[in-house]
Amino acid sequence: MSWQPPGPPSSNYPPAQNRSPLGEARPQFYIKLSRPLITQVLLGVILAVFVVQVLLGFFLFGSWTSLTNTNIEVLVLMGAKVNPLIAQGEVWRLFTAIFLHGGVLHLLFNLYALYALGPLLEGYTGHIRFLTIFLVSGLYGSLLSYALSGPISVGASGAIFGLLGGITVFFLKYRDNFGVQGRAILQNMIVVLVLNLVIGFSSGFIDNWGHIGGLIGGALVTVGIMPRYRQPAIVRLGSQPLEIAERRQVEVAWVIFCLILLVIGVYAVTVIRFQ
């Protein structure tokens, strides 16, 4: 099955190389991309949560420090990852910590990363799959941080590392179909991952285990739910979008499996580390 670069072609006719020796047009397939709607919603939610952080810091503590620095009281109040509290039953902190940030620089870095990576992965996987990858990645990041990192932790970085993992898995599977473009994206993702991990381990202020957990979670869930493409039932000459194979039950089962592993992990860490 031959593909052309993603998105509809600029012409209704295939280029010369997609014609037979007799000059007849041959079928050519492409992937129809999704608009980055969920990416935009997540950007808005993360920004709105930060505004609430700053306002709570001012009204409850009379300080604007949440704007530029970490206000621990506000972060704990709003759901930061605090290991002893999670061990006592506040497991919801594994989720809420994803949307909190320790200052404007932390916020802007993650907003930029989400803005850069989100449309790429959402374009190929679609809205629901993309949101699933983001959330599962964030939860796995919180889990590994809970297991191996003691300090209070917040941020969407784990989820963003999960997007990196998801993009890498996707373009690794379809690297031959996308040709030079796909291999270039794959190489870029690997370079970005390596650089960020090196930077993380060279700094004492970065939750590296949260990043690694997000990366693992994103790659794991993407393996099971990324689209599988097939030729259209009716093939016509020229260009037309590929169909996505119907695998809803398999994909839902895979997400449930990933969440079961998450629950088991939380239980095991709580028992081993805190009891």
Task: Please identify every residue annotated as catalytic.
Answer: 157, 211
Contact 79, 100 (CB under 8 A): yes
Contact 159, 135 (CB under 8 A): yes
Burial 26-46 (b: 16+ CB within 10 A, else e): ebbbbbebbebebbeebbeeb
Distance of alpha carbon 153 from alpha carbon 75, whole angstroms: 9
Length of the chain: 275
Contact 266, 90 (CB under 8 A): no
Distance of alpha carbon 21 from alpha carbon 88, whole angstroms: 72
